[in-house]
Amino acid sequence: MMLNLLIKVGLAGALGALVGIEREYAKKQHMFGARTFFFIALLGMLSAELSVLDRNLTYFPLISFACILFISYYFYRISSETRTGGLTTLVLFPLVFIIGIFVSYYFYVEAVALSVVITSILYAKKYSVKFTQKLTDAEWSDIIRFAIIIFVLYPITPQTYTLHGLTFNLDMFFNMIYYVSAISFFAFILHRVYPKLPLYVMGFLGGLINSTSVIFFLSEEATRIKKSLYRAYSSAIAASSIRNLLFIFIISLPVFLKVWPYFVAVIAVHLIAQYFNPAREVKIKVLKMNHPFTITKAVELALVFLIISALLDTVISTSTAGYYAVAFVGGVFSTIATIASLLSMNANGTHDLTTTSIAVVCSLLGTITANSLVGLACRNDIMKRAMLVSLFVSALSIGALAIYQFIL
C-alpha cells in the first residue's frame, strides 16, 4: 500500500508539474508555475485517497474540487481587475485536480493522456490561445460542468442504484452524457472552424444532437422567413438515424444486424426526398452551436434514459406488449435514450435478441410519430407537406420490413 501511494504521489505530482512547466516557461507565467500545479494534482490524488478511509470523508474530493473552483474564480477576479495573468491558466486548476483524481483511481493511462493533451494544446499557442480567447464564460462553464460530471462524479458513482424496487443504471447514464457531449463537441468545433457551412450541413449537425428540437426550430424559422427549410430538416432526420444506428453498432452488433434495414430505410427516404424538394438558398444561421458540450441536453437525455430503463425493468416482467409500448413512448421523447435502455437490458440477459430488436423498431416508430406531430404544427405549407409525406413513406417502409422480417 505504501509503494502504491508513493507511485501515485510521484505520478500525480509529475503530471501536474508538466503542465506547470509549460505555463512557467513557454507562457512566461510567474505567479502559477510548476510548484502550484504540482500541489493541485497532489491535492486531487490525496483527496480521493482519503475519501475511502472513512465514510465521513466520502465527499472530501467534491469539497476539495469546489475549493479549487472558488480559488480559480477568486484569482480570475483579481487578474481581471489588475489585468495580469490570464483565464487559461486558472481554468487549468480544476483540470489538473482531475488528473490527480485519475491517478488515485488507477486511471494512469487516462491521467497521462490528459496531461499530455493539455500540455500539447497549450504549447501550440498560435492555435490554442486563439481558440480559447473566443470562448465565452458560458462555454467555459459548459466545459467545467462536463469535466465535473465525467471525471469527478463518474469514478465515484456506483454502476446501479435501486430505489423503491426500481433499478437505475447509473453507469449507462454517464455513458449517455459522454456520448451526446462528444457529438456536440465535434459539431461545435466544426461550426467554429467553418462558420459558413451550408444550411443542410448545419441541419445534419443539429440532428446528431437532437432531431426533434432541431425540427421544431426549423419549422418556426420556415414560418418566420416564409421559405421551406426541408433540406435542413431531412438532413437532421438522416443524421439522427445515423447517430442511433452507430450507437447500436457500438453497443450491440447482434441487434445492429437485426435492425439496420429500418434505419437505412429512413435515411434513404429523407435523402432521396431532397431531390424532389429542392430548397432555395437561405442565407441565415438556422442553428447556433453556442456550447461545446451541451451538457444540459445531454443530462436531460440521460435522465430520460434512467426513467425509461427503470420502467422497462418493471414492465418487462408483466407483458411483452407493455414492453413494446414503453419503447414506443420512449422513442417519442428520445430515441437514443430509449435504445440505450433496451440495449442495456439485452446485455443483462433480461430479454432475447428478437424482442429487443422489435422494441428498438418500436422506438424508431415513436420518434417518427413525434416528428410527424411537429410537422403538423409547421405553418409553412410547402415544408409541412414535404415533411409529412417523407415521414409517411418512412413509416410504410418500416411496416413492410417488419412484416417481412418478424411475421413472414
Region for 119 from its dihedrals, namely left if φ exceeds 0, alpha if ψ lies in -120 to 50, beta otherwise: alpha
Contact 69, 97 (CB under 8 A): no
pTM given for the model: 0.56
What angle separates helix 230-251 from helix 211-225, to the nearest 10 degrees? 180
In 226-352, which residue ranges form alpha helices assigned H by DSSP? Answer: 230-251, 253-276, 295-315, 320-333, 335-347
Dihedral pair phi/psi, residue 136, rounded to 5°: -85, 175
d(CA 150, CA 175): 9
pLDDT of residue 317: 56
pLDDT of residue 257: 92
Contact 330, 308 (CB under 8 A): yes
pLDDT in tens, the chain (408 residues): 677 888 888 888 888 888 888 777 765 555 677 888 889 889 988 988 888 887 777 888 888 888 888 888 777 777 666 655 555 666 788 888 988 988 888 888 878 888 887 777 666 655 555 555 556 666 667 777 777 777 777 777 777 777 776 777 777 677 767 766 766 676 666 666 666 777 777 778 777 777 776 777 777 777 777 778 788 888 888 988 998 999 899 888 999 999 999 999 999 998 888 777 765 655 445 445 555 556 776 777 677 767 776 776 666 555 677 778 888 877 877 788 788 878 887 777 767 888 888 889 988 988 888 777 777 777 888 888 888 888 889 889 988 888 887 676
